[in-house]
């Protein structure tokens, strides 16, 4: 009786574990399909025709739903406030560089534009005066989201104008953008125009959405397979004494 209960209990536990592992594998395959669709949507936004800033959907102006606009292309017309540009550290192949972020005043409100990178030697705007676009300018760029500081990310040094992460609220305050209700809740990553002299040089972030769900699915299904193998080995170990005992009795 005890042996039968042990067999039933172990078999039931193995079956439940096997079902859980398989369900996790199926879930990861579903997540894989979802992530692939999301990547396709983002790539389509990044390569689509730019929407005029004054015509963007209401949800793109809502901080709660603006994430759905990341990498979407937009066009805008306005004036750069070159007197209050911000400098955010940007690692480059040839050493340290700086992403130039400048307030851009439009009829739809002020928006922060990530104009591009400059090497450390051109950190001073006076060293790249030709690139300080004056007057009304038409731009095309991609919507980019604010960032959250990581555990090891240095704090932004507002006083020294040294920024380490995209703090939208802090950067808006630093550039005098107080009409938060009108200011779009995003940055614009500049595509064009490239300024005279080539600096700042527009630099677009790569679309790099991780999609490791296939590896996770394989792991769960492999564990399910291991569970079956282990159950088979256990079952054989339980049956072997019984078979040996029967053979001895027959002798």
Residue range 182-204, pLDDT digits in tens: 789 999 999 999 999 999 999 98
- Partners of 116 in the β-ladder: 100
Residue at 43 is within a domain:
no
Shared-domain flag, residues 116 and 148? yes
Shared-domain flag, residues 137 and 30? no
Shared-domain flag, residues 99 and 186? yes
**237, 250, 248: which is closest to 3 by C-alpha?**
237
- C-alpha 169: how far from chain center: 19
Residue at 61 is within a domain:
no
Answer whether the bond into residue 193 is a cis peptide, omega within 30°.
yes
Shared-domain flag, residues 194 and 217? no
Q: How many CA atoms lie within 13 A of 43 on its CB side?
A: 8
Q: Please tell me which residue, 173 or 243, carries the higher pLDDT value.
A: 173
From the CB of residue 137, how many other CB atoms can be counted at a distance below 10 Å? Answer: 15
CA dihedral 89, 92, 95, 100 (to 10 degrees): -40
Boundary residue ending a domain (198, 223, 241): 198
From the CB of residue 145, how many other CB atoms can be counted at a distance below 10 Å? Answer: 16
14-17: list long-range contacts, CB under 8 Å, 24+ apart: 14/227, 14/228, 14/230, 14/231, 17/227
CA dihedral 144, 73, 54, 188 (to 10 degrees): 30
**24, 188, 192, 199: which is closest to 98 by C-alpha?**
199
Shared-domain flag, residues 193 and 215? no
Please report where in the chains the tokens 């560089």 appear, as a residue.
97
End-to-end CA distance of the chain: 26
Helix axes 2-47 and 213-250, enclosed angle (nearest 10): 160
Shared-domain flag, residues 101 and 170? yes
Dist CA 211 CA 30 (whole Å): 12
| Number of domains within the chain | 2
- For residue 20, the enclosing domain spans 2-38+211-250
Shared-domain flag, residues 102 and 164? yes
Shared-domain flag, residues 102 and 162? yes
- C-alpha 221: how far from chain center: 27
Q: How confident is the model at residue 181 (pLDDT cuts 50, 70, 90)?
A: low
Model pLDDT for residues 50-99, shown as the tens digit of each residue: 999 999 999 999 999 999 999 999 999 999 999 989 999 987 777 779 99
The reported pTM is 0.79
Q: What letter would DSSP give residue 107?
A: T
In this predicted structure, the answer to whether residue 247 has a pLDDT above a threshold of 70 is no
Kindly report the average pLDDT of the chain as a whole number: 89
Shared-domain flag, residues 115 and 177? yes
Q: Please tell me which residue, 117 or 234, carries the higher pLDDT value.
A: 117
Residue at 224 is within a domain:
yes
Shared-domain flag, residues 216 and 192? no
Q: How many CA atoms lie within 13 A of 15 on its CB side?
A: 6
Residue 91 confidence (pLDDT) = 77
Shared-domain flag, residues 86 and 154? yes
- 157 is written with which tokens? 């040094």
- 5 is written with which tokens? 């209960």
Residue at 170 is within a domain:
yes
Grouping H, G, I as helix, E, B as strand and the rest as coil, residue 98 is strand
| H runs (alpha helix) in 64-180 | 168-174
């Amino acid at each position: 009786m005890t042996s039968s209960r042990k067999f039933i209990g172990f078999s039931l536990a193995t079956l439940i574990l096997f079902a859980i592992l398989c369900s996790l594998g199926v879930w990861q395959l579903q997540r894989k399909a979802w992530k692939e669709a999301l990547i396709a949507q983002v790539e389509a936004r990044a390569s689509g025709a730019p929407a005029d800033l004054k015509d963007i959907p209401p949800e793109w102006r809502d901080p709660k739903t603006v994430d759905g606009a990341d990498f979407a292309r937009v066009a805008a017309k306005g004036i750069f406030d070159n007197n209050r540009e911000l400098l955010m550290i940007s690692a480059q192949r040839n050493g340290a560089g700086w992403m130039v972020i400048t307030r851009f005043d439009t009829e739809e409100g002020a928006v922060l534009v990530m104009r591009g990178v400059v090497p450390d030697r051109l950190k001073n705007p006076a060293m790249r005066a030709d690139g300080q676009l004056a007057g009304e300018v038409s731009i095309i760029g991609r919507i980019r989201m604010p960032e959250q500081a990581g555990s090891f990310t240095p704090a932004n040094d507002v006083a020294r104008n040294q920024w380490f992460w995209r703090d939208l609220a802090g950067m808006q305050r630093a550039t005098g953008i107080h009409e938060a209700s009108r200011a779009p809740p995003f940055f614009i990553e500049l595509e064009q125009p490239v300024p005279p002299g080539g600096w700042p040089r527009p630099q677009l972030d790569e679309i790099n959405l991780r999609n490791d769900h296939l590896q996770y699915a394989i792991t769960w299904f492999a564990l399910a397979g291991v569970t079956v193998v282990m159950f088979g080995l256990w079952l054989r170990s339980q049956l072997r004494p019984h078979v040996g005992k029967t053979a001895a009795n027959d002798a």
